[in-house]
Structure 1
Amino acid sequence: MDEHGGHVSGGADGGPRVAVVTGGGSGIGRASALALLRDGWAVALAGRREEALEETAELAGPDAARALCAPTDIRDPAAVAALFAAVRDRFGRVDLLFNNAGAPAPRRPIEEVDDGDWERVLGTIVTGAFLCSREAFRAMRGQSPPGGRIINNGAPSAYAPRPNAIAYTTAKHALLGLTRSLALDGRAHGIACGQIDVGNVAPADGSPQPPAMQADGSMAVEAAIPVERFTEALLMMASMPTDSNVQYLTVLPTAMPFVGRG
């Protein structure tokens, strides 16, 4: 059966499923790429820092044979087009796009937000996801068998903001709209799109969880989960045939403030 009928392996030749992971050089992107590789996927690691991507591949051990390190500025349309061309040249198709890349910005009141911080956050999270999704649609519609899946890395801030985080909150709200549009427009082409909104993830180096600003302006150390809780959710969604979709999935510590941020 093809992907519309329940086939969850890769191309028509029975090879591995092929994923593109943005922000694959650190954090959730690195953990997700490694989890996909362990699960038998071929993975293209996209990110701006080539050395970080290569470190991710090295951590994969023997599975690195199915990894492609592709330094890419996802804010650049030409660079994104080149990324997907390289993936198709190497692996023949694209079964999964994980839009994960983000950009940090200092938490400041709106009157102190720097233009560059705003543009970097929106450019990476929103424009970058759009450009990658556009190329993924082009690849997925034309391949045989057709179809695929896009998973966006959202956040609780797509629904409930934190104080002094206007750029990040705006970007994640926009990403939610992108997820919904992709899910609707992908129906006719066997392209499923969903979003994972993950709460506090414990630092990978084992350092203490930093305090976070609460709705009343106070600071508190909140509960956190290991990154494996996220990758488990990602693999579950990625393994489904594309005639089924998880539209939104929120994964967060049970004790983390979320609804109302109270």
Structure 2
Amino acid sequence: MRLTLSLAILLALPGVAAAEEQCKFSEPRSLDLQLTGVKSVLFEVASNDLHLDASPGGGGKLGGRACAARVELLKSLTVTQKRIGDKLVVSLNDDRRFSFGNSYSYLDLRGSVPNTMLVQFDVGSGDAQINGAAAVSADVGSGDMTIRHTKGRVTAKVGSGDVELEDLGALRVLAVGSGDLKAREVHGAAEVAKVQSGEIKLHGVAGNIKIGTIGSGDVDIRDVQGNVNVESVASGALNVRKVRGDLSVAHKGSGDIDVSEVSGSTRVPTDK
């Protein structure tokens, strides 16, 4: 009786009621990954949710549910796989071309992959997470991506979404648009090609940091064991704290540069 009453009270809370409403109808979904001879796996997440753990062994699988506002929408939600060379492409599909009003439908999946291969993500507006992979690449549109405990390098490209990284071997960022990328505990080097209007935080980097261009966005760097080299800061902001090596900024526009606690040499353009 106590459990029933507690559940009733819990479901009466606005947040819980909203969560239940977002999966009014559901069906199970599962897929055993065909990984024999595969060197990398690409997950096409789209607007769905996918959380993965990488573990020893050669197998992998996905399981979870399809959620929809109306029961007839469930049939449009599928999980498929296809082989392209030595890559396995796993697609989380919603076969509907358009959705209107309160007609949501999405996949909510959990799963496992081997911890010996490259795992790639193509995330639209969905939510993806992976723990313990050998190496990871992620192309994130407006969604969220969390990557933790990666032995090798993480490669990321961010549109307007959010990417959070923790405990990784090395980092390469191709571009950040208007989104955010946060990385901490980088055990090797970190390289960022360009930041547009978004924000990057790099905290705890064991190697060197190399940054190309900072447009109108913000870059915050702290606790670096190596050197920090920045090609240009346009109208954005660069904040640097606690660098054991050298700091150099080649070009500066109207932006702001704030530097403190650099053990090596500091070369920063002066304001004109």
Query: TM-score, normalised to structure 2's length?
Result: 0.24
* Higher strand content, 1 or 2: 2
* Higher helix content, 1 or 2: 1
- If asked which structure has higher relative contact order (CA below 8 Å, sep 6+), I would say 1
